Amino acid sequence: MRVLDILKTATQYLDQAGVSDAGVDAELLVLQSTGIDRMTAYRDNPGVDDESWTAVVRLLERRAAGEPVQYISGSVDFLGLRIEVGRGVLIPRPETELVAMEGMRLLRSFVREPLDPEADRFRILDLCSGSGCIALALGREFPDADIFGTDISGIAIGYSERNAGINGITNITFLEGSLYDPLGGMAPFDMIVSNPPYIITSDIEGLQREIREWEPVDALDGGLDGLDFYRRIFAGAKRHLGKRGAVVLELGFGQAGAVTKIAGEAGFRSIDVRKDLAGIDRVLIAETVSASQSSHLQG
């Protein structure tokens, strides 16, 4: 068979199985199984041997059964990093890249106005670290920073440590445990970042089967109102931040107002919300001091 014939058959098969983006997933899995690059496939339409065809069928059957294509392919791109994923770890989404980018932007402003003239290394804490994608993006951008990531899942910690090795990032320590618990009083940090669980418990059953049946519930379930982890993060945030510090969090749909209130009640007065490309309030930034107070601190 020729590869373009296989692509057509694979797309039809996944479409009939109810897979959204059947064509995109079929292309990814067929090209991965055959080892043929995209340009060669569409330009030359090379033949595919029986062994490769068998490999294609196995992957298509997994996808038709609902397994996320990212788990099948084994990795996902995150701001140019190769992040390995599999059963037991949350799949990084493009929205989460905004958390890392906002963290980078804010830390660059800290570089221009350093918290402590004698300090030469930033300290960053990534809560609910999962695959480690946010911590790794920050670690690559700020190689002189000391970064710590915590997650309650030992499986997730295994993936995050492996992803650090794959990407050659050595300035991150991953710790198993819930939120601040593994830190043992370690402080202060310049920044806390997190993509916490924020799905309302009763909404989980209504999620796509790829999410509901395959991704870890502990990484999704934010409690009865979806806000449990935001409350817990802000309850301990100020104890773990320096005089000038910030919390950068991913938000679920419609949660900006509630999380802003939680941050305000925790004593944060400089709070901002950034939208994603779809115009949804997606990232909340809460700083311990305002810009004017920061200038006073530096003066």
pLDDT at 280 over 50: yes
197-213 mean pLDDT:
95
Q: What is the pLDDT of residues 138-175, one digit of tens each?
A: 999 999 999 999 999 999 999 999 999 999 999 999 99
Least confident of 42-46, 112-116, 198-202, 288-292: 112-116
Q: What is the pLDDT of residues 228-238, one digit of tens each?
A: 999 999 999 99
Which pLDDT value is given to residue 295?
A: 43
Q: How many CA atoms lie within 13 A of 269 on its CB side?
A: 7
Task: For residue 290, count other CB atoms closer than 10 A to its CB.
Answer: 12
Q: In the chain, which ranges are continuous DSSP H helix?
A: 3-16, 22-34, 38-44, 50-64, 69-73, 94-112, 133-141, 154-166, 209-212, 228-237, 256-265, 291-298
How much of the chain exceeds pLDDT 90, in percent?
87
Predicted local distance difference test score (pLDDT) of residue 273? 97
The mean of the pLDDT values for the chain is: 92
> Residue 187's pLDDT band (boundaries 50, 70, 90)?
confident
Q: pLDDT > 70: what percent of the chain?
A: 93
Tell me: the pLDDT tens digits for 22-67?
999 999 999 999 999 999 999 999 999 989 999 999 999 999 999 9
Distance (Å, whole) CA 272 – CA 60: 43
Q: Which pLDDT score, from 0 to 100, does residue 290 have?
A: 52
Flag whether pLDDT at 246 surpasses 80: yes
Task: Supply 46's token pair.
Answer: 């090379």
Q: Residue 184 has what pLDDT? A: 87
Chain segment 97-128, per-residue pLDDT in tens:
999 999 999 998 876 544 455 456 899 999 99
pLDDT at 296: 40
- Residue 179: CA atoms inside 13 Å, Cβ hemisphere, count? 13
**DSSP conformation class of 87:** T
Mention every residue, 6+ apart, whose C-beta is less than 8 A from residue 268.
234, 237, 238, 247, 286, 287, 288
Give the pLDDT of residue 1: 84
